[in-house]
Amino acid sequence: MSLTKYREKRNFSTSPEPEGKADQKKSESDPIFVVQKHRATQLHYDFRLEHNGTLLSWAVPKGPSLDPSVKRLAMQVEDHPIEYAQFEGTIPKGEYGGGTVMVWDIGTWTPEQPDVDAALKKGDLKFTLHGKKLHGSWVLVRTRGFGGSSKPTWLLIKHRDKYASDVDVTAAKPKSAISNRLLADIAKANGGDVEEAATGDPQPPSSKTKKTKPKKQLAKTARAR
């Protein structure tokens, strides 16, 4: 796997994102997984699995769901360098993915099939997550794609096990798994757009009662995106 696409999209003299070492060997320890909450043009969650020296990556607009009846759209994107798993900060506006990035969950993963490459080729990858927020058995299934999208489209689904739940985990656990910060805190610490980052954080309960009608509509629009 190659980081060519990853590097082509980015300007490392401007962005604090890691460039990635040339050839990462397959690590001896358990492969890592990371979910990064990313307030870019649109809020989304980047789901990444370490495999063969890179992070296989999917953009999940609504983030993972613990409810096995919920299928979450996951668009496969370019492989990312292993070092990216630790990246939490601000990508400058105007750069690719400009906005605030949070390490929302991190841990290791175990494939449930002996041949990961064959499973990926088939478009049906079953795996177990050992994270701080996400646990148990999951599957990524490739679909035929939506609306002529050129990116391979997958669905991220929780399997039924003791970790399945109807708790909305992205709302219940909104903070960073490595720094316990909200998006707004991360933006503030890195000179990012705090107000924009805060739109991806839980809204304070008081704002619901205080808000006037037009503001309510704005909030609804922001959530729908």
Residues at the site binding Mn ion, with contacts judged by CB under 5 A: 38, 46
Minimum CB–partner distance for residue 178 and Mn ion (Å): 17
Token couple for 155: 């669905």
3-state DSSP assignment of residue 53:
coil
Cβ proximity to Mn ion, 48 vs 158, nearer residue: 48
CB of 123 to Mn ion, least distance (A): 22
Cα–Cα distance, 173 to 175 (Å, whole number): 6
Closer residue to Mn ion, CB minimum distance, 38 or 133? 38
CA distance 89 to 84: 11
Least CB distance from residue 164 to Mn ion, whole Å?
A: 26
Sign of the Cα pseudo-torsion (38, 102, 23, 50, in order)? negative
Q: Which of residues 39 and 135 has its CB atom nearest to Mn ion in the complex?
A: 39
Q: Please name the residue that has the structure tokens 């370490």.
A: 50
Looking at beta carbons only, is 46 or 78 nearer to Mn ion? 46
Taking the complex as a whole, how short is the minimal distance between the CB of residue 172 and Mn ion, in angstroms? Answer: 22
Nearer to Mn ion, 34 or 182 (CB): 34
Question: Do the Cβ atoms of 149 and 142 come closer than 8 Å?
Answer: no
Find the shortest distance in angstroms from Cβ 53 to Mn ion: 21
Q: Of 69 and 149, which CB lies nearer to Mn ion in the complex structure? A: 149
Residues β-bridged to residue 127: 111, 138
Distance CA 158, CA 12 (A): 36
- Left (φ > 0), alpha (ψ -120 to 50) or beta: where does 7 sit? alpha
Distance CA 29, CA 148 (A): 39
| Closest distance to Mn ion from the beta carbon of 9 (Å) | 11
